[in-house]
Amino acid sequence: MTQITIDPLTRIEGHLKVEINVADGVVNDARVIGTMARGLEKLLAGRDPRDATYVTERICGVCFCAHGWTSSIAVEHAHGTTQIPEAARLLRNLIAGAAWLHDHPLHFYHLSALDYLDLSVLVNYNGTDSYINKIKGLVISEVSNPPVEGQYAGPLLPTYSSDSNCINDLDTVVACVQHYLDALVMQVKAKKMSAIFAGKQPHQSGIVPGGVTQLPIKNQRLQFQALLNEQINFINNTYVNDVVTLGTGPLLGLATSAVGVAYPNFLSYGGFPEANGSFLYPEGAIVNGSLVSSDRNAIEAAITEDVTNSWYTSSGGGHPSLTSQEFALEKTGAYTFVKAPRYNGYPMEVGPLARMMVAINRPNHPAYTHSATQTFLSLVQQGVQPGAVARHAARALETQILCDAMPRWLNELNQLIEGGSGSSGQRIEIHDTAHWDPPATGQGYGMTEAPRGALGHWVKIADQKIDKYACVVPSTWNASPQDSSGIRGPYEEALIGCPVPDLDNPINVGRIIRSFDPCLACAIHLITPDGNMKKFIVNG
C-alpha cells in the first residue's frame, strides 16, 4: 500500500489537502483536509445583525452573492419579516442568477476541463493551419527561447499527464481551448450584469435584510437584457453542447463507470423563490435513493454537525445553531477545519447533481417537466452514474433552466415597474422597512441554493446584537470528514475505488474532487503558539 499526498489540490477555490492510500491500483482509504479556519462567525459576535450580510459576503470572492442573500434571509427571519416586496424578490433572483451564469461555465472551462483534454496533440501539432497554431501558441511555454517542445504555459497550468480517458482528437481540443477563452469574456459580462443591479463586484451590497437597495431604471434593465441574451446564447450553444457532447461521446466510458460516485444521498434546500411560494430548483432530501422529505422546515430541523475529527471543541449541541466555533488545534484525532454536517445522521451530497437528482424525483414540481431535467433523466436511464462526469452534466443542464427563468423574471420586473411608477406614479417598494431596526432578541436561519449547493446561515440576536452566528456552506457538506461513527463525507467516499494506475499521476483524484467544485475560503487565519493571530491572503 502506498500513501499519496496532494497539497494543495489546485484549480479549486481555497486550500485543500488530499491524502489517499492506494493498493492494487485503486484508492482504499482517503482523507480530505481543509487547511484553513474561516473564523468570520467569531468576528460577527457583538455586531449589529445587519452587518452580517456585508461580513459574510467576505467569506468568498466567488460565492459572495449567495452568502449575502442567505445572511439577509436569516436576519429577516430573526426580525419577523415573512415576505419581502415582489420587486425585491425578482431583483434578488436576477442578481444571484447573474452570479450563477458567471460561476458554472468558469468551473467547467477554467477549473475542470483540463482534466479531460490531452493538450499534447496541440503542443505537438506541426501543421500550417494559422488558427490552430494561434491556439497552440497559448499552451506552449515562452519561458525558454526557443520554446521547449511539450512545455505548457501560463493559464493552462497546472495539469497532470494525460491518460486513456483524456480526449486526444485535435479538432475537439482546439475547440475546447477556444471556448475556454470565450468563457473568460462571458464571465466579465456576467459580472457586469450583476453589477448593473447590485453594485460593485465582488462583495456587492445590493441585497440587504428586507429587500434590495435600488430599483433599476429602464436603461439599466435594457443593458441587463442585452447581456443576458449573450449569456443564454453561449450557455445553450456552447457550454451545454460541450458538456453533453463530451459526456455522451469521448467520456461515455468514464460517465457510465463508478468513478467519483459517493452516496445515494442528496440534499437541496430549494433555489430561487417564485411568486407562488415554490422554488425554481425544488427542495428535497434523498436518502438511499428515495425522496424522504420536501419540507424545508423539517429538513432544517434534521441537520446536525459533528466535530469529532475537526479542529473545534465539542461543546454545544449538534444543530448548526449550537455547535462550537472555538478552535481546538491540539485535538487528538482531528485532521481538518471542516465540520461534518449530517441530515438525520446521513452524509449528504449537495450541489448541481443533488439538485438534478431531487428534480427527477419530484414529478409534480414544474422543474421536472423542463427539457433540461428530462435530458438529465434520460442520461441516468442510459446508464450515466452519479459520479464525476454526471456532476458536470447536471451543472450545465441546470444552467439552462436558469436561462429560461431569468428572461421571465426580468419581464415580470419590467411589467411591475411600467405598471407602477412608470405610468401611474405609484411607488414600487423594494424594501420591507417594518422590521428594519434589530429586535432586542431573536433567532433565525436562511437557506438557499448557492451554485455549489445547499447553503445555510443561522443567527441568534441578544440585546440587539449578534450573540452567535453559524454558516454551513456547500463544501462543508461535501468535504466533511469522518463523523463519530466513522462515516466518511462525500469527497472521501467518492475517492474510494478511484483508479490510480500511475502513482506519479493521480489524475482521477483531481477529476473527482474538482467535479464537486470545491469552495473553501480565500484568507487563512493561523493561531501561533504565543496566541497571536496572523492573516495570510492567498490567491484562491
| Residue 467 Cα to chain centre, angstroms | 28
CA distance 516 to 358: 17
More confident residue, 421 or 157: 157
Nearest partner of 264 among 244, 286, 283, 246, judged by Cα: 286
Nearest partner of 40 among 540, 531, 520, judged by Cα: 520
Q: In the chain, pLDDT over 70 holds for what percent of residues?
A: 90
If pLDDT is split at 50, 70 and 90, which confidence band does 35 have? Answer: confident
Residue 86 has pLDDT above 50, yes or no: yes
Q: Would you state the pLDDT for residue 524? A: 32
Q: Would you state the pLDDT for residue 421? A: 47
Query: Which of 114-128, 466-480, 511-525 shows the lowest per-residue confidence on average (mean pLDDT)?
Result: 511-525
Quickly tell me which residue has 457538506 as its cell. Answer: 477
More confident residue, 219 or 534: 219
* Cα R_g (the chain), whole angstroms: 23
Over residues 353-409, the pLDDT tens digits come to 999 999 999 999 999 999 999 999 999 999 999 999 999 999 999 999 999 999 999
Residues with Cβ within 8 Å of 279's Cβ and at least 6 positions away in sequence, in order, are 270, 271, 272, 273, 449
CA distance 362 to 359: 5
E strands along 465-528, which residues? 465-472, 523-527
Over residues 174-186, the pLDDT tens digits come to 999 999 999 999 9
Highest mean pLDDT among 38-42, 345-349, 430-434: 345-349
- Residues 303-320 have a mean pLDDT of 87
Residue 145 has pLDDT above 60, yes or no: no
Q: Would you state the pLDDT for residue 422? A: 45
| Residue 296 Cα to chain centre, angstroms | 20
CA distance 518 to 493: 15
- Contact predicate 313/324, CB 8 Å: yes
CB neighbour burial string for 502-527, b if at least 16 within 10 angstroms, e if fewer: eeeebbbbbbbbbbbbbbbbbbbbee
Query: Which of 99-103, 295-299, 397-401, 530-534 shows the lowest per-residue confidence on average (mean pLDDT)?
Result: 530-534
Residue 129 has pLDDT above 80, yes or no: yes
- Contact predicate 41/469, CB 8 Å: yes
Residues with Cβ within 8 Å of 411's Cβ and at least 6 positions away in sequence, in order, are none
Q: Would you state the pLDDT for residue 236? A: 97
Nearest partner of 184 among 99, 102, 97, judged by Cα: 102
Terminal CA-CA length for the chain: 32
Fill in the DSSP letter of residue 112.
I
Give the mean pLDDT of the chain. Answer: 89
Cross-strand partners of 336: 310
Q: Would you state the pLDDT for residue 68? A: 95
Cross-strand partners of 19: 5, 31
Q: How many residues does the chain have?
A: 540
Identify the burial level of 205 via C-beta atoms within 10 angstroms of its C-beta, where 0-12 means exposed, 13-18 middle and 19 or more buried.
Answer: middle
Domain coordinates of the chain in residue numbers?
A: 2-78+88-138+148-200+207-537
- Residues 276-288 have a mean pLDDT of 97
Cross-strand partners of 462: 441, 465
CA distance 283 to 73: 17
Cα separation values, 399 from 105, 302, 392, 444, 510, Å = 9, 29, 11, 30, 23
Nearest partner of 306 among 275, 353, 340, 277, judged by Cα: 340
CA distance 488 to 27: 14
Residue 32 has pLDDT above 70, yes or no: yes
- Residues 126-144 have a mean pLDDT of 79
- Residues 180-207 have a mean pLDDT of 94
Q: Would you state the pLDDT for residue 36? A: 78
More confident residue, 20 or 11: 20
Q: Give the pairing type, strands 207-208 and 26-34.
A: unpaired
Q: Would you state the pLDDT for residue 154? A: 52
Residues with Cβ within 8 Å of 410's Cβ and at least 6 positions away in sequence, in order, are 90, 94, 221, 224, 225, 228
- Cell numbers placing 145: 527561447
| Residue 241 Cα to chain centre, angstroms | 21
Query: Which of 129-133, 262-266, 324-328, 354-358 shows the lowest per-residue confidence on average (mean pLDDT)?
Result: 324-328
Q: Would you state the pLDDT for residue 316? A: 63
If pLDDT is split at 50, 70 and 90, which confidence band does 30 have? Answer: very high
Helix H, strand E, coil C: the string for 429-460 is CCECCCCCCCCCEEEEEEEEEECCEEEEEEEE
- Contact predicate 49/83, CB 8 Å: no
- Residues 211-230 have a mean pLDDT of 96
If pLDDT is split at 50, 70 and 90, which confidence band does 342 have? Answer: very high
Residue 537 has pLDDT above 50, yes or no: no
Q: Would you state the pLDDT for residue 370? A: 98
Q: Would you state the pLDDT for residue 82? A: 80
Find the DSSP H helices in 262-338: 296-301
Identify the burial level of 382 via C-beta atoms within 10 angstroms of its C-beta, where 0-12 means exposed, 13-18 middle and 19 or more buried.
Answer: exposed
- Contact predicate 116/159, CB 8 Å: no
Fill in the amino acid letter for 216: P
Q: Would you state the pLDDT for residue 244? A: 87
Q: Would you state the pLDDT for residue 317? A: 65
Residue 141 has pLDDT above 60, yes or no: no
**pTM above threshold 0.85:** yes
If pLDDT is split at 50, 70 and 90, which confidence band does 435 have? Answer: low
- Residues 439-462 have a mean pLDDT of 95
Residues with Cβ within 8 Å of 394's Cβ and at least 6 positions away in sequence, in order, are 351, 352, 353, 355, 356, 357, 376
Residue 38 has pLDDT above 60, yes or no: yes
Residue 539 has pLDDT above 50, yes or no: no
Cα separation values, 467 from 31, 119, 464, Å = 34, 53, 9
CA distance 343 to 472: 12
Coil, strand or helix at 262: coil
Residue 15 has pLDDT above 70, yes or no: yes
Q: Would you state the pLDDT for residue 151? A: 54
The top-level CATH class assigned to 2-78+88-138+148-200+207-537 is: mainly alpha
Q: Would you state the pLDDT for residue 157? A: 60
Query: Which of 197-201, 241-245, 433-437 shows the lowest per-residue confidence on average (mean pLDDT)?
Result: 433-437
